[in-house]
Amino acid sequence: MSESAEPSNQPDNKAPEGNRKLPVDGNVAGRLSMVASLAPGAIAIAEPDGPPQPDGNRSYALTTFGALDQRSDEIAKGLIEWGVKPGMRIAMLVPFGAGFIELVFALMKAGVVTVLVDPGMGRKHLVRCLSDANPDGFIGIPKAQAVRTILRSKFPKAKWNVTVGRRYFWGGKTLQQIIDQGKKVGKDTSLPRIERTDEAAVIFTTGSTGPPKGVLYTHGVFHAQIDLIRERYDIHRGARDLACFPLFGLFDAVMGVTTIIPDMDPTKPAQVNPERLVEAAAQWEVEQAFGSPALWNTVVRWAETRKQHRPFPTLKRVLSAGAPVPAETLIKLRKLVDPDANIMTPYGATEALPLASIESREVIAETGPASLKGKGTCVGTRFEGVAWKVIEIEDGPLDDISETQEVSRGKIGELMVTGPMVTQRYVVRSDQNPFHKVTDGDRIWHRMGDVGYLDERDRFWFCGRKAHRVTMGKRTLYTVPCEAIFNEHPAIYRSALVGRGNRPNQQPVMIVEPHQPNMNGNEQERNQLQQELLALAARNPLTRRITEIIVRETPLPVDIRHNSKIFREKLAAELNQSQ
């Protein structure tokens, strides 16, 4: 892998001398061109190519930064020559890999707005999200294009369709035809000028509190995210990242980091085979890894069972996002990596990321023990440029900042944030904008939908989702503090507080998932566990009003993106339908 100096931090319109091509406008894809100009032969992406060998090593298909930049240029120019215009929306239905990364950068270079949807969110949500996004076309594998053709009445504007692979009966172009056209026109076709305020992508939320919403990302938001992540976590060009969460591979490319794609299904992180991660990390001497808490839980359990001692000795930076990571898991995870490694849990949402971060040592020594006592989960301190405040909880819309009322430190309320990484609006389910966006002069605050409090050190303690709180008259129960009490029982893996009935007169119900959920119909064992949990609840002021406990025989439903966020709405619906 080639090595060279760190890219200059000069303004976009003052390109350092000697670089082949540098961003002269606001297009975030210009950062890829900058990296490629400095180290064209360095490896950008390594993707498994064939099964593991007996020695644990395997072959990888390699893509250099120069090739990634050139290939995305050719695709962009091919699309432009075909007739695709800046501002059009193109939906991406391509599995994660090197091809996915080059296509996203190609669309950005062409000025196209990329529509990204989790393929695992379920057919109903997937079709509705894509239909509501009203795309001008699709880039997808043959199966996706076949389904799109069958459902074409739901996508009336989708006339610019590119098949990645063999095209059958649905028209449009193949990706190879687009590439060939791009090579043919070469320098005769120029890429459009893009400003930081221009639209870059529509990314859908996980739908953990209702139907997924389409969040509009500008190029400026992506720029802010990249700068903040790189600076806070001290990420340098030439590093190697085991990208267990697909979208982080896009950040890698523009930071000059080599993306090592592991042998796993990214839509099912909890089902990862840890041995594949260990092999990839060893073969590439990986320094960084990004994965969901569900993935690291699986890795930790595997290491305990196999009595593995420090299986990731080269890992110096671990990032885990999507849900809180318990101190117990962090303690075990620290034993698997370099002793001096930093394990960070960034906090944010699709609409606003990154907002805050905390390191494992602080969780283990201080905030984790407080979390076990029902104090909530500390997400850490703010990223530079983030402003936040906790306001009185309001379920209805708040149009202007004057309508909000900030609460005192230590009091639970609703978190709202603003900053360059905070998106301004939804473009799919725009009816939700009044409930989440608050005008404050020339800036917009985003209501996170999270409840919690700020401590004396300006750290936010997350106590759950606003929509998940259970109200009993004048008393409110919050999910995270209450569930922490039950999760302390050695038999419980995780739990979910839901409300029976409607606000403000709900009955709190705790639904628990044991480490061994299938009790094979053992009624006595289940009753014994319920009695122990009731006694545990009665001893704590936070939970003493919880008198109904359901021991679930199957795992709690969780989101597809991280396999960590519990879908409490589904549980509440099941509970209230059974009445």
The model's pLDDT over 222-251, given as tens digits with 9 standing for 90+, comes to 999 999 999 999 999 999 999 998 788 999
Answer yes or no: is pLDDT of 7 > 80: no
Answer yes or no: is pLDDT of 11 > 60: no
Answer yes or no: is pLDDT of 392 > 70: yes
The pLDDT score that the predictor gives to residue 270 is 86
Q: In the predicted model, what is the mean pLDDT of residues 379-408? A: 97
Angstrom distance (rounded) from CA 145 to CA 114? 16
The pLDDT score that the predictor gives to residue 516 is 80
Q: How confident is the model at residue 8 (pLDDT cuts 50, 70, 90)?
A: very low
pLDDT tens-place string over residues 478-533? 999 999 999 999 999 999 999 999 999 999 999 999 988 665 567 888 899 999 99
What is the DSSP pairing of strand 89-93 with strand 113-116?
A: parallel
Name the residue among 167, 175, 200, 194 with its Cα closest to residue 78.
175
The pLDDT score that the predictor gives to residue 123 is 83
Answer yes or no: is pLDDT of 162 > 90: yes
Answer yes or no: is pLDDT of 5 > 90: no
Angstrom distance (rounded) from CA 437 to CA 425? 7
Angstrom distance (rounded) from CA 310 to CA 308? 6
Share of the chain above pLDDT 90, in %: 79
Answer yes or no: is pLDDT of 333 > 70: yes
Alpha-carbon Rg of the chain, whole angstroms?
Answer: 24
Contact in structure between 35 and 4 (CB atoms under 8 Å) = no
Angstrom distance (rounded) from CA 563 to CA 323? 9
All residues at 6 or more sequence positions from 58 whose CB lies less than 8 Å from its CB, including other chains: 48, 49, 50, 51, 52, 263, 279, 283
The pLDDT score that the predictor gives to residue 444 is 98
Average pLDDT, the chain: 92
Domain range summary for the chain, segments of one domain joined by +: 64-219, 469-577
Contact in structure between 316 and 338 (CB atoms under 8 Å) = yes
The correct CATH number of 469-577 out of 3.40.30.10, 3.30.300.30, 3.30.750.24, 3.40.50.20 is 3.30.300.30
Kindly write down the DSSP assignment for every residue of 388-449, as one continuous string.
EEEE---SS---BGGG--BPPTTS-EEEEEESTTB---EEESGGGHHHHEEEETTEEEEEEE
The pLDDT score that the predictor gives to residue 324 is 80
pLDDT tens-place string over residues 28-73? 999 999 999 999 999 999 999 988 888 778 999 999 999 999 999 9
Q: How confident is the model at residue 579 (pLDDT cuts 50, 70, 90)?
A: low
Answer yes or no: is pLDDT of 121 > 90: no
Q: In the predicted model, what is the mean pLDDT of residues 181-189? A: 93
Tokens 């020339």 found at: 442
The pLDDT score that the predictor gives to residue 2 is 35
The whole-model pTM stands at 0.91
The pLDDT score that the predictor gives to residue 124 is 84
The pLDDT score that the predictor gives to residue 521 is 61
Among 17-21, 419-423, 554-558, the minimum mean pLDDT is found in: 17-21
- Residues 356, 361, 362, 366, Cα dihedral to 10°: 150
| Cis peptide bond upstream of 326, omega within 30 | no
The pLDDT score that the predictor gives to residue 1 is 37
Q: How confident is the model at residue 208 (pLDDT cuts 50, 70, 90)?
A: low
Angstrom distance (rounded) from CA 525 to CA 329? 27
* Residue 96, Ramachandran bin (φ over 0: left; ψ between -120 and 50: alpha; else beta): beta
The pLDDT score that the predictor gives to residue 15 is 36
Name the residue among 337, 344, 292, 348 with its Cα closest to residue 314.
337
The pLDDT score that the predictor gives to residue 149 is 96
Angstrom distance (rounded) from CA 450 to CA 413? 8
The correct CATH number of 64-219 out of 3.30.70.270, 3.40.50.920, 3.40.50.10800, 3.40.50.980 is 3.40.50.980
Contact in structure between 28 and 108 (CB atoms under 8 Å) = yes
Answer yes or no: is pLDDT of 366 > 80: yes
pLDDT tens-place string over residues 249-277? 999 999 999 999 999 988 888 899 999 99
All residues at 6 or more sequence positions from 188 whose CB lies less than 8 Å from its CB, including other chains: none
Tokens 């003493």 found at: 544
The pLDDT score that the predictor gives to residue 219 is 97
Same fold, 64-219 and 469-577: no
